[in-house]
């Protein structure tokens, strides 16, 4: 027998009429607790409310209203608190067991060496455990799982199969292309945003998304030989980038805080974007000392540009394939967007595990 709560419908209609006269933020604030209960209570206990005209706030809206930036800053500070020596092994062993961390690959296997959770998250690997493939032009920049890959079509990129986001919303306005080599840019009307990124005839735009789970190695490396000309930092939300959430929230990567590094490689345009996530209190780029992520002085919905091309350095920052580039706290996502000849093909499967240094594709 199903359990149902009985509600006096006349009183509810009167109350809902009062809510309709309130401002949108007030209604959202007032209905949030009731909507939360609607989704978690068993037996459809609050479903009779729908019969009198009430509609719950969507799960996505509720999730977006959680103060993930504040929670992530608090988590980041907690990670820097040094643990007592006697507590380190139990805490780290619990984390290792929960997320399947392979400590045999760590440069330092002794758990007592790591003073806090932050140092443990950012642990380095033994050099020999991640050989860099020399025979392929593009390698995986990090350990993780392949969420999606392929050609960019109609200025839309898939974050997971069937769920897309706008290329222009993700990268922002094209004014940063001023830092790209003038000889490789089309000064005439390039057409779509996607067409403007393809600088050489016969090339197409490709993308690849690598998800870093909490148990993965948290540093990321240069995926190819290229020069970085520009950095764009988007302050934003810090929602989870778990594949399940990525299937749930459209344009998730455009909502989240991210750092876009753009420049050129031998075949034209190349970019690497580090996307933040819940409890990822910082995204660090090793050669960029000015970058500050998840900072309360930056507002969501804005972006901050920084050029690595100066009067004294016309080339920007040169990166070699496999060179250390940056790091996350906990886990997150790397998005590669680059142009390449049409015969470029990915040697990947969606959902497969991949390690830093392994090839992504061939030409």
Residues forming the active site: 143, 221, 332
**CB contact at 8 A, 190 and 196:** yes
Spatial strand order in the sheet of 359-362 = 138-139, 359-362, 345-346
Contacts of 238 (CB under 8 A, 6+ apart): 68, 69, 71, 72, 256, 257, 276, 277, 278, 279, 280, 294
Q: How far apart are CA 178 and CA 119, in angstroms?
A: 38
What SS3 class is residue 205?
strand
Query: Rounded distance, CA 213 to CA 143, Å?
Result: 9
Handedness of CA 352, 357, 358, 360 (dihedral sign): positive
CB within 8 A of 108, min separation 6: which ones?
114, 123, 124
Please, are residues 160 and 148 in contact by the beta-carbon 8 Å criterion? Answer: yes
Instruction: Write the CB contacts of 126 (distance below 8 Å, at least 6 apart in sequence).
Output: 105, 106, 107
């Amino acid at each position: 027998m199903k359990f149902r709560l009985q509600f006096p419908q006349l009183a509810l209609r009167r109350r809902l009429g009062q809510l309709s006269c309130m401002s949108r933020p007030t209604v959202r604030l007032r209905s949030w607790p009731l909507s939360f209960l609607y989704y978690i209570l068993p037996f459809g206990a609050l479903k009779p409310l729908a019969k009198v005209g009430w509609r719950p706030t969507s799960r996505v809206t509720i999730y977006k209203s959680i103060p993930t930036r504040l929670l992530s800053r608090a988590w980041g500070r907690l990670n820097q608190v040094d643990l007592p020596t006697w507590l380190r092994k139990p805490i780290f062993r619990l984390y290792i067991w929960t997320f399947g961390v392979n400590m045999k690959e760590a440069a330092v296997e002794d758990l007592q060496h790591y003073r806090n959770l932050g140092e443990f998250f950012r642990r380095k690997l033994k050099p020999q455990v991640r050989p860099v493939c020399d025979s392929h032009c593009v390698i995986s920049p990090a350990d993780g799982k392949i969420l999606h890959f392929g050609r960019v079509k109609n200025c839309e990129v898939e974050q997971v199969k069937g769920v897309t986001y706008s290329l222009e919303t993700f990268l922002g306005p094209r004014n940063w292309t001023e830092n790209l080599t003038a000889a490789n840019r089309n000064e005439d009307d390039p057409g779509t945003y996607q067409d403007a990124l393809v600088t050489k005839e016969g090339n197409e735009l490709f993308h690849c998304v690598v998800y870093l789970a909490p148990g993965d190695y948290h540093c990321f490396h240069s995926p190819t030989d290229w020069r970085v000309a520009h950095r764009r930092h988007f302050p934003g939300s810090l929602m989870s980038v778990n594949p399940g959430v990525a299937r749930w929230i459209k344009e998730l990567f455009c909502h989240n805080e991210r750092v876009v590094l753009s420049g050129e490689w031998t075949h034209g345009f190349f970019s690497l974007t580090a996307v933040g996530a819940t409890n990822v209190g910082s995204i660090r780029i090793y050669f960029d000392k000015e970058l500050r992520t998840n900072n309360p002085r930056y507002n969501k919905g804005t972006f901050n540009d920084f050029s690595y091309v100066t009067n004294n350095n016309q080339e920007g920052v040169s990166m070699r394939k496999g060179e250390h580039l940056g790091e996350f706290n906990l886990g997150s996502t790397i998005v590669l967007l680059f142009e390449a000849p049409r015969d470029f093909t990915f040697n990947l499967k969606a959902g497969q595990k991949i390690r830093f240094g392994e090839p992504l594709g061939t030409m």
